[in-house]
């Protein structure tokens, strides 16, 4: 089964473009425009990785990450934002973050980072580390 990626971002064009690119790379993708929708999507789409925008109206990305991981303990989260993520925000999140991507980010590098997580791929397949993103 391909890696399942949930994109949570209130920017529709960004969300759709990212979803198209990730699907083309072989990932299963679902998306949501806000936190409550992401929680609903997660009920039917058992994501392995969530890419969550930090700044969204209503529930911010940190709280969304917390709620998503509470629902699905194995979910790994990548936060993304055009704003810097502070250490206090990470501490407040109380979630084990897979990484942080400052916007704008290179989608191809994100794909390279996620590819080794695909089930059935050798552990040394692909390139990239969280520090590169």
- Confidence check: pLDDT of 46 > 90: yes
User: pLDDT confidence of 101, banded at 50, 70, 90?
Assistant: confident
For residue range 61-88, list pLDDT tens digits in order: 999 999 999 999 999 999 998 887 666 6
- Using CA atoms, how far residue 17 sits from 51, 79, 126, in Å, is 13, 17, 22
Enter the pTM of the model: 0.85
- CATH number at 65 reads 3.40.50.2300
Measuring CA to CA, how many Å separate 32 from each of 11, 15, 80?
Answer: 10, 8, 14
Q: What is the average pLDDT across 110-129?
A: 68
Domain extent for 70:
4-132
Secondary structure class of 102 (helix, strand, coil): strand
Task: Give first-to-last CA distance, the chain, whole Å.
Answer: 25
Total domains present in the chain: 1
Q: What is the pLDDT of residues 81-98, one digit of tens each?
A: 888 766 666 666 677 788
* Degrees to nearest 5, angle at CA 83 with 67 and 65: 10
């Amino acid at each position: 089964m391909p890696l399942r990626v949930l994109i949570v971002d209130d920017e529709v064009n960004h969300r759709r473009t990212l979803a198209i690119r990730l699907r083309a790379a072989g990932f299963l993708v679902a998306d949501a425009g806000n936190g409550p929708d992401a929680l609903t999507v997660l009920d039917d789409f058992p994501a392995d990785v969530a890419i969550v925008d930090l700044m969204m109206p209503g529930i911010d990305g940190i709280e969304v990450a917390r709620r998503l991981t509470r629902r699905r303990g194995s979910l790994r989260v990548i936060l993304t934002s055009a704003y810097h993520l502070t250490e206090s925000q990470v501490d407040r999140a109380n979630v084990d973050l897979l990484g942080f991507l400052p916007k704008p980010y290179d989608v191809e590098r994100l794909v390279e980072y996620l590819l080794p997580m695909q089930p059935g791929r050798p552990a040394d397949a692909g390139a990239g580390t969280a520090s590169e993103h």
